[in-house]
Amino acid sequence: MATLKPFAALRPQPELAAQICELPYDVMSSDEARGLAAGNPLSFLHVSKPEIDLPPATDIYAPEVYAQGRENFQKLISQGALQQDAQPCFYLYRQIMGNHSQIGLVAAASSEEYLSGIIKKHELTRPDKEDDRVRHIETLNSQTGPVFLTYRAGAALDEFIAKQSTGMPDMDFTGKDDVRHSSWRISDATGIQFITEQFARIPFLYIADGHHRSAAAGRVYQSRKGAGQSGQFLTVIFPHNQMQILPYNRVLKDLNGLSAAQLLQKLAGIFIFKPNGAAQPTRKHELGLFIERQWHPLTFRPELTATNDPIEKLDVTLLQKNALAPIFGIADPRTSKRINFVGGIRGTAELEKQVNRGEYTCAFSMFPTSIEDLMTIADAGGIMPPKSTWFEPKLRDAMFCHLI
C-alpha cells in the first residue's frame, strides 16, 4: 500500500512565483535555458541548470556546475524568495492548459516503496542521468523537481480534493506558455489523516514522468541510510483519469539508401495507406508519414496488431519492430544518431518544418499511448520502448522543494 507523508515545503513567495518557477531541467537545452533565464536572477533555471551562469564551454557535469547551483539555491533562500512552511503539510497543485485541467496531491512518497516496486516504473534509466540527479540532490540537500506519479482514481479522494480546491489558492500564476498553476495547502490534522488513510488503501502508484529523479532519490536514501528526510522523495500524484498524454513523434535523418518511392513500396507491406492526407492520427494503430512535403496517413495491417502482449501492440513498438529496424536500419533508437524525437506539444507543423528545412528526411506522427496501457505494462513488470509518452502540462520546478 502507498505510504505518503506531509512535509514542510520550501516554496516561492506567492508574488514571486511567476518569476521563480520554471519548466523541468530535462525539457530544454543549456542554450534554451540561458535564453529563458536572461534578465531574471530569480529564475530557478539558475539552480536546475546552473551551467547557464558559467562559460558556455563548461561541462554540464563538472563539479563547479553543481556548486554554482547550490550557491544560487542558497541565495534564493537567504533573500527570502523561497521560504519553508512552518509545519508539514500536504498540498494540492492544479494546472490548467487550454481546455484541460488536472489537480494532483503534492506529497513525500516512500523511497523504500520505490525500491520495492509499490511505486511502479515503466522505463529504463541511464546511469549518467541518474548520477547527475544524485549529485544535484546531494549538493543542494534538496529535491527541487517533483516526480510525476499517477494512481487509479477513486471517488472519495476525487470528492475531497475537489472540495479542498474551491477556496482561494495560496499560490496562483500563469506561465509564459499560458499554463496556469495554482496550489492549496492542507495543514489540518483531519485532512492529513484522511489523505494518508485513503492512499494506504491504494495498492500501487505509477511513475508517469521522472524515472531518473526517483531512481536518484532511491540511491540517496540508500547511501544516507534514511537519515534526515532522505527516506522520502518529492512527488505530485494525479488520478489516472485526469492525465493528458500527447504523442511522441519521430523524425529520421535518412531513408537508409532508399528513394522515397522505394520506401513507400516497402511500407505498403506494413501499412494500409489512406487517401485523406491528414497529418494527425485519430486513433490507435494509425500513424502519419510526412515525406517530400506530403502527408501519408497509415494504418498498421491487422495481422501485425493481433497480439495480447501489451508492449508488442503499442504503436511505438510496432513501428520500431516492423519499420525502423528492418527498413530504416535503426536497431536501437536509444543510441542511434539517425533518429530524433519531437514532443507532441510542438504539433505536426514542427515535423513539417524540420523535414522541409532539410534537417530530416521524413517524419512519423504518432497517436498518443494511453495511460491504461502504461499502467497495464507497469503492472506486468514490463518496460516500454523509449520515448513512448509525452505528458502535458509539465510540472514546474521550485513550486515545492523537499529539503532532505
The CATH number assigned to the domain holding 276 equals: 3.30.1760
Q: How confident is the model at residue 278 (pLDDT cuts 50, 70, 90)?
A: confident
Asked if residue 323 and residue 208 are part of one domain, the reply reads: no
What confidence score (pLDDT) does residue 277 get? 80
Q: What is the pLDDT of residues 345-378, one digit of tens each?
A: 999 999 999 999 999 999 999 999 999 999 999 9
The whole-number average pLDDT for the span 115-138 is: 94
pLDDT at residue 10 tops 90: yes
pLDDT at residue 276 tops 80: no
* Enclosing domain of residue 58: 4-244+392-403
Asked if residue 186 and residue 64 are part of one domain, the reply reads: yes
Query: Would you say residue 378 lies in a domain?
Result: no
For the chain, the domain total comes to 2
Distance (Å) of CA 42 to CA 20, 39, 70, 349: 5, 9, 14, 33
Asked if residue 279 and residue 200 are part of one domain, the reply reads: no
- In angstroms, the CA 179 to CA 100 distance is 10
Query: Would you say residue 9 lies in a domain?
Result: yes
Average pLDDT, the chain: 96
Cell output for 82 = 523561497
The whole-number average pLDDT for the span 123-141 is: 94
Question: Which 8-state DSSP code applies to residue 89?
Answer: B
The whole-number average pLDDT for the span 37-57 is: 97
What confidence score (pLDDT) does residue 35 get? 96
Asked if residue 223 and residue 135 are part of one domain, the reply reads: yes
Interior angle at CA 390, CA 388 and CA 396, nearest 5: 145
Asked if residue 254 and residue 211 are part of one domain, the reply reads: no
pLDDT at residue 126 tops 90: no
Question: Which 8-state DSSP code applies to residue 229?
Answer: T
Asked if residue 9 and residue 115 are part of one domain, the reply reads: yes
Place of cell 518511392: 261
